[in-house]
Amino acid sequence: MLKVERNPHISLVYGEIEDIDGYIGNFKVKVKKKPRYIRSERCNACGSCAEVCPVMVPNEFNCGLDARKAIYIPFTQAVPATYTIDKDHCIECQLCVKACDQDAIDLTQQPENLDLTVGIIVVATGFEPFNPIGVYGYGRYENVITQLELERILAPNGPTEGKLRRITGDKVPKRILMIQCVGSRSPKTHDYCSSGICCMVAIKNARLLKQHDPEAEITIAYIDIRASGKRYEEYYKEAREMGIKFLRGNVSKVKEDPKTKNITARIEDTLNNSVRNHEFDLVVLSVGMEPAKETSRMARMLGIDTSTDGYFKELHPRLYPITTKVPGVFLAGACQGPRSVDQTVATGKGAASASAILMSHGVYEMELIKAEIDLAKCSRCGLCVEVCPYHAISIKHGRTIVNEITCRGCGACETVCKNDAIELRYYRNRQLVTYIENLVQKAR
């Protein structure tokens, strides 16, 4: 991230994309740049402002397990290392202004509208973890947490500085249950599996817990363990050898003891065909991955599709896995489906390589097989507009217009036109008829 910030050819913008128009080589992007209310060139991240800020709000980076100030740096390694004021919670007491000896705070900053012209767009909007509110008592029982929350607890820069303890009090959990496929492989949430990522995260965290406390009793309740990556199966076997218990079964319900805050889980063991109640100090939910909140809005702006699971759709899952139907728009990472770290790196490098190849040529070459409309025959019924998968046809000012840059010459519009007003260049009807007649004559 530091290399990105220091690269003179890369600009980092703290903002939100509001609109995208145009085509390859000439995309028009409107960005609303958000104010930090900090003069970045003056801020040295000394922290004096945060020390005097009286407002405390939940810390998003630590999943709300601790608090941050209304003026804050999102996380320790954030780039740029500049403070930001959360205006939604700031009470404008101006104590931070008085404490800053660099005169870096400017509460009068306003959003800026940026109009950018770019040649290539790489979409890397990531994913959202499934929110399991109401599932297995999450949100109601304090000792039911997610794997992401457990990771923040185990992190040295987390809310407990890497010391494992329960949310309620300082008790160190000894009996821990991990429940797999929460939010995945279910018609009630998402039908798809998150590519086995939840399985491997659970195994990794279980091993970390064993390293923290070799006497800990860790149980992973699973449907199937999907360890399909390189050396993943060996990693799974090593976890079993460490004493981590893998129980193939379904957890039907959980209940909290109001005095001890322990969690009793009713588990169906599908291997031994038995149902038993087990008591645990901590329950960890392995939640699945789902599309980022802005995915559908971004897809509409870019003119690309989303698949049935809600992620961005590639042009072809095998032949063009990072390319979209819009030339010049590429996909990277988990925006197009659940991805592990290595898969994310691979698709990111692929998108960067595909972009570099196009830009290095300086000129974009395309086939001239495009739809042409005879305006004298066209009734402007709009059928071609509806059927075009590339959004290349529009009706403006009483005329049906084809955008030759985005048109891919698929012919879908020609098949639905009732007035024979649309033909494909180089594949006109009279050409095809003449070709067929010559074939018939030769056959005679």
Q: Are residues 308 and 294 in the same domain?
A: yes
Is the omega angle on the peptide bond into residue 80 within 30 degrees of 0, that is, cis?
yes
Q: Are residues 307 and 412 in the same domain?
A: no
Structure-token match 């698929």, residue found = 410
Q: Are residues 206 and 345 in the same domain?
A: yes
C-alpha–C-alpha distance, residues 43 and 444, integer Å: 86
Q: Are residues 343 and 212 in the same domain?
A: yes
Task: Kindly report the length of the chain.
Answer: 444
pLDDT by residue for the chain (444 residues), tens only, comes to 888 888 999 999 999 999 999 999 999 999 999 999 999 889 999 999 999 999 999 999 999 999 999 999 999 889 888 999 999 999 999 999 999 999 999 999 999 999 999 999 999 999 999 999 999 999 999 999 999 999 999 999 899 888 888 877 778 999 999 999 999 999 889 999 998 999 999 999 999 999 989 999 999 999 999 998 889 999 999 999 999 999 998 998 999 999 999 999 999 988 888 899 999 999 999 999 999 999 999 999 999 999 999 999 999 999 999 999 999 999 999 999 999 999 999 999 999 999 999 999 888 888 889 999 999 999 999 999 999 998 899 999 889 999 988 898 999 999 999 999 999 998 888 888 888 888 888 776
Q: Are residues 290 and 327 in the same domain?
A: yes
Quick one: CA torsion of 34, 38, 44, 48, rounded to 10 degrees?
A: -120
**Residue 327 DSSP label:** T
Taking CA atoms, 91 is separated from 51, 53, 87, 156, 435, in Å, by 15, 10, 8, 31, 77
* b/e per residue 279-290 (b: at least 16 CB within 10 A): ebbbbbbbbbbb
- Provide the domain limits for residue 209: 128-365
Structure-token match 């000012």, residue found = 397
408: domain CATH number is: 3.30.70.20
**DSSP structure string for 182-197:** ETSS-TTS-SS--TTH
Q: Are residues 96 and 167 in the same domain?
A: no
Q: Are residues 285 and 166 in the same domain?
A: yes
Q: Are residues 418 and 270 in the same domain?
A: no
C-alpha–C-alpha distance, residues 65 and 83, integer Å: 21
Helices (H), strands (E): how many in the chain?
11, 22
C-alpha–C-alpha distance, residues 353 and 130, integer Å: 31
Instruction: Among 339, 365, 391, identify where a domain stops.
Output: 365
Split into its structural domains, the chain has a count of 3
**Residue 333 DSSP label:** G
242: domain CATH number is: 3.50.50.60
Q: Are residues 238 and 155 in the same domain?
A: yes
Q: Are residues 133 and 238 in the same domain?
A: yes
